[in-house]
Structure 1
Amino acid sequence: MLRVVNRVLIGIVGLVLVVIGGSVLAVGLGLDPPSWWIHHDRHDVLLSDAERTRWRGDAWWWPTVIAVLAVLVLLALWWLTTNLRRRRLAEILVDTGDGEGALLRGRALEGVLESEAAGLEGVQRAHVHLTGRRSAPETRVRLLLEPHVDPGTALNDLTAQALTHARDSAGLAALPTEVRLRGVKHRAERVT
């Protein structure tokens, strides 16, 4: 979700900047703008004295400007904190069966999953990242596959072995997983 918000937000800001900058550049280079455009020739200023002081005497102007700027600052702070927040799950709540619970370090489960996934046939390298909540963890697994490995077989092996072992050992009802598979790229070799 955050990735989509980032891309949309950056796309909108970029589009607005390109349109405004391109139009100012076009007018500055001497192209004739449409009659409704805010600039009329290359010597026109961005805001005239009349435009800058038009609402200065109205009582609603400054509270509105301050409120809009405050909302923009709060949105920028929200966006910054969500991007800087740690996304890695630090610990998992394991049901011990006696009504109590135990905490399992997230890095420990990531390490075990990573080593077991890397040991699967045809997997050159594996990377595991735990996300979600303590009581409902989720995993993201990236596998780098050897050149002639069937991705379906590698995915089945990962699901049947590494992920099943992790789910059972942590006592989880489910362990939703997003798996990304990528093949190793080799240089072209000359055949003689």
Structure 2
Amino acid sequence: MLRTVNRIVLGLLGLVLLLGGGPVLAVGLGAKPPSWWVYDGRKDVLLSVADRQRWRDEGWWWPVVIAALAVLVLLALWWLVAQFRRRRVTEVLVDTGDGEGARLRGRALESVLVGGAEAVDGVERAGVVLTGRRSAPRARAKLTLSPHAVPGEALYRFGADALAQAKNSAGLASLPAEVRLRAAKHGAERVS
């Protein structure tokens, strides 16, 4: 949903800037404006002094301006917070076969995946976060590999062992995963 909101907001913002700024830029660069355009040439202003001060003495003007700006600021803050918020799956729906189903805590499944990942030879530390929907979770894993690890083998073992076991035990049709590998920092070895 956030991607859709981002695309709509950016599309509308781009459209407003294009429709508002494009003709102004064209006239400013010397293009001949159409007869219905709000100003005539390069030396003309968009809003005259009379237009800018028309509503100043009305009692409702400033509260409406302040309220509109406050709403815009709140929407911008909501959008900014939504960019950095990661949605974690709090529970996973497990099909028990009896029609009722069960709920598995997301943190429990994450800890099982972490334990399975750290049991793989060559993985020093692991971190797993479940995202997506509770009926179709997705795993995002960060594996820190030891210096002697073979990345391809560690990735294969994680997928074949830990990920497959978690998928089967939760009764999920699939458990897609995004895995990021990182090498552990280690000191230089001395050869004597």
Q: Tell me the TM-score range normalised by the shorter chain.
A: 0.5 to 0.7
Distance 1:52 1:150, change over 3 A: farther
1:37-78 CA-partner distances (Å, limit 9, x unpaired): xxxxxxxxxxxxxx998702258x869855762452232232
**Matched position secondary structure for 2:134:** coil
**For residue 93 of structure 2, what is the aligned residue in structure 1?**
93
**Matched position secondary structure for 1:175:** coil
**For residue 111 of structure 2, what is the aligned residue in structure 1?**
111
Distance of 2:63 and 2:148 partners within structure 1: 66
Distance of 2:149 and 2:49 partners within structure 1: 67
Distance 1:52 1:71, change over 3 A: farther
**For residue 35 of structure 1, what is the aligned residue in structure 2?**
none
Query: Which one of the candidate residues 40, 53, 56 is aligned to 1:56?
Result: 53
- What does 1:37-52 correspond to in 2, within 5 Å? none
CA RMSD of aligned residues (A): 3.2
1:66-110 CA-partner distances (Å, limit 9, x unpaired): 576245223223225425756221111101111111000111111
Distance of 1:52 and 1:118 partners within structure 2: 70
**Matched position secondary structure for 1:147:** coil
- What does 1:68-83 correspond to in 2, within 5 Å? 69-82=69-82
**Matched position secondary structure for 1:111:** helix
**For residue 26 of structure 2, what is the aligned residue in structure 1?**
none
2:146 is aligned with 1:146: yes
Aligned-residue sequence identity (percent) comes to 61
Distance 1:169 1:64, change over 3 A: same
Distance 1:57 1:156, change over 3 A: same
TM value normalised by structure 2: 0.64
How many residues in Structure 1 have an aligned counterpart in Structure 2?
147
TM value normalised by structure 1: 0.64
1:126 to partner: Cα distance: 1.0
Distance of 2:178 and 2:101 partners within structure 1: 26
One-letter amino acid of the counterpart of residue 119, structure 2:
G
**For residue 184 of structure 1, what is the aligned residue in structure 2?**
184
Distance of 1:147 and 1:137 partners within structure 2: 31
